[in-house]
């Protein structure tokens, strides 16, 4: 099956040429060029590769989470690192590794929205490039102009044209020097010009070491297969299946599965019915109570009762369970058990506290989350560059 991959720094437009490469079943380039969309070769699949200037990759360390919660936790961790309004950014995440590490890819929401209907996958050019060895950075040339730097943890940032030392790279090195994290060398995966070499020669710090050149369309089967698809969340592709063919192919398996399901349902129907009836009784009682309190017809009677309770306590000059001080009192014993200086700041808003912590080891973070849960609090935790952030609110049903 042939695959057409197109390197894009903007949505395709008539008359505007874009670099492309056509791959065969073995992921070998059989044709390449640069042309407008109407001159692209036909292929079974089409994949967009976003140029380095249009994406940013951030390395994150999060607590181990179920796959369906990873993207939300990554978005929370990146709240204060996004350039521009959060609703203009789209965040895709790689699978989380065993140690909790992952890569978050940030791109323009509008660009991903424009490309999603027309491409089977959307990839990031920097994610195709190999990571450098530990304590080294690697500088790549982008196929769309300019370049990007990739660090050992997988994070990347874009650079300008290779005409002398990149301003973005120099700023990143200055920042790293202040945090005692300078790389041992900068590996240049392209042929640096004389001005770039001279700039590095004059500047104290990591040396520039030329290595084999890299191209986005020559990175190999594994790089394309393992690269994160940006079509996630609202842009995730719909699952399409051939129902007739599947039923024909797996008719015996489907029949056996149906029998197993029927047996299971029959065996548990009594318990299920009892639970459903009990749930209906509880919800009916809550709805009646909510109606008596002046909140009829609500879809969330328990929440309505809690809000009415809070209003009543406020009118009486008393605090409600979800107010700032009662929530903080619940959390105080767990926070007091942390090492001195671990809690950096605390802010309250919309029924929850947001705590900023210095870096906590995995055991301390786990104990804190368990202690808060035992106090009737619900938590959402994410690591960031400075340490960790935790959002704490009253757990449903807590008194």
pLDDT at 364: 84
Report the percentage of the chain scoring pLDDT > 90.
45
Of 161, 168, 209, which is closest to residue 185 (Cα–Cα)?
209
Query: Distance between CA atoms of 39 and 4, rounded to whole angstroms?
Result: 12
In contact, 82 and 39? CB cutoff 8 Å: no
Dist CA 122 CA 115 (whole Å) = 8
Q: What's the pLDDT score for residue 16? A: 94
In the chain, what's the furthest Cα-to-Cα distance?
82
The DSSP annotation for 250-305 comes to THHHHHHHHHHHHHHHHHHHHHHHHHHHHHHHHHHHHHHHHHHTT-TT-S-HHHHH
Report, as an integer, the average pLDDT of 375-393.
86
Per-residue model confidence (pLDDT) at position 92: 95
Q: Which residue has the higher pLDDT, 252 or 353?
A: 353
| pLDDT (0 to 100) of residue 293 | 61
- Kindly compute the dihedral angle of the four CA atoms of residues 186, 189, 194, 199, in this order, to the nearest 10 degrees: -20
Tokens of 175: 């920042």
Distance CA 315, CA 173 (A): 57
Give the strand pairing for 207-210 and 18-23.
unpaired
Compute how many other C-beta atoms are within 10 angstroms of the C-beta atom of residue 282.
12
Tens digits of residue pLDDT in 131-183: 999 999 999 999 999 999 999 999 999 998 766 667 888 889 988 888 888 99
**Among 206-220, 244-258, 309-323, 348-362, whose mean pLDDT is lowest?**
244-258
Of 151 and 399, which is predicted with more confidence?
A: 151
Distance CA 13, CA 239 (A): 28
Q: What mean pLDDT do residues 42-58 have?
A: 95
Looking at residue 185, its pLDDT comes to: 92
Across the chain, mean pLDDT equals 86
CA 158 – CA 126 distance, rounded (Å): 9
pTM comes to 0.61
Q: Is the pLDDT of residue 241 over 50?
A: no
Asked whether the predicted pLDDT for residue 243 surpasses 50, the reply is no
Is the pLDDT assigned to residue 249 strictly greater than 90?
no
| Whether pLDDT at 357 is above 60 | yes
Q: Are 212 and 138 in contact (CB under 8 A)?
A: no
Give the pLDDT confidence score for residue 363 in this predicted structure.
Answer: 83
Terminal CA-CA length for the chain: 59
- C-alpha atoms less than 13 angstroms from C-alpha of 190 in its C-beta half-sphere: 21
For domain 324-394, the CATH class is: alpha beta
pLDDT in tens, 293-322: 666 555 666 666 667 777 777 888 888 888
Percentage of the residues of the chain whose pLDDT score is greater than 70: 90
Question: Does residue 125 surpass a pLDDT of 80?
Answer: yes
Question: Which residues sit opposite 393 in a β-bridge?
Answer: 352, 378
Tell me if 334 sits within 8 A of 371, measured CB to CB: yes
Domain 1-128 CATH class label: alpha beta
- Of 291 and 193, more confident: 193
Contact 50, 124 (CB under 8 A): yes
Helix axes 251-292, 301-315, angle to 10 degrees: 30
110-126 burial string, b = 16+ CB within 10 Å, else e? Answer: ebbeebbeebbbbbbbb
Nearest in space to 65 (alpha carbons), one of 77, 56, 82: 77
Q: State residue 128's pLDDT score.
A: 96
């Amino acid at each position: 099956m042939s695959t057409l991959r197109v390197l894009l720094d903007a949505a395709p437009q008539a008359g505007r040429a874009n670099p492309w490469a056509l791959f065969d079943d073995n992921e070998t380039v059989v044709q390449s060029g640069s042309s407008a969309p109407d001159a692209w070769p036909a292929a079974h699949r089409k994949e967009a590769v976003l140029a380095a200037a249009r994406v940013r990759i951030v390395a994150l360390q999060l607590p181990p989470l179920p796959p369906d919660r990873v993207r939300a936790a990554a978005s929370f961790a990146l709240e204060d690192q996004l350039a521009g309004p959060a609703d203009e950014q789209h965040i895709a995440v790689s699978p989380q590794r065993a140690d909790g590490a992952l890569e978050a890819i940030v791109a323009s929401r509008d660009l991903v929205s424009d490309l999603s209907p027309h491409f089977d996958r959307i990839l990031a050019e920097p994610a195709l490039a190999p990571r450098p060895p530990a304590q080294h950075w690697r500088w790549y040339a982008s196929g769309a102009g300019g370049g990007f730097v990739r660090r050992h943890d997988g994070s990347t940032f874009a650079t300008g044209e290779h005409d002398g030392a990149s301003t973005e790279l120099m700023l990143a090195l200055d920042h790293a020097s202040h945090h005692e994290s300078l790389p041992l060398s900068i590996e240049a995966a392209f042929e640096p010009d004389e001005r770039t070499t001279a700039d590095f020669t004059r500047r104290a710090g990591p040396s520039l070491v030329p290595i084999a050149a890299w191209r986005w369309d020559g990175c190999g089967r594994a790089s394309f297969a393992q690269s994160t698809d940006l079509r996630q969340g609202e842009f995730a592709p719909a699952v399409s299946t051939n129902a007739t063919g599947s039923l024909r192919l797996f008719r015996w398996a489907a029949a056996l599965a149906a029998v197993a399901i029927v047996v299971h349902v029959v065996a548990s129907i009594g318990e299920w019915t009892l639970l459903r009836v009990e749930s209906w009784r509880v919800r009916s009682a809550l709805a009646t109570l909510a109606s008596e309190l002046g909140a009829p017809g609500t879809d969330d009677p328990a929440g309505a009762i809690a809000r009415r309770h809070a209003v009543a306590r406020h009118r009486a000059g008393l605090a409600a369970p979800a107010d700032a001080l009662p929530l903080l009192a619940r959390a105080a014993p767990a926070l007091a058990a942390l090492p001195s200086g671990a809690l950096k700041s605390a802010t309250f808003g919309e029924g929850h506290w947001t705590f900023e912590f210095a870096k906590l080891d995995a055991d301390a973070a786990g104990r804190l989350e368990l202690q808060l849960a035992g106090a009737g609090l619900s938590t959402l935790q994410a690591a960031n560059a400075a340490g960790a952030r935790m959002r704490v609110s009253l757990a449903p049903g807590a008194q």
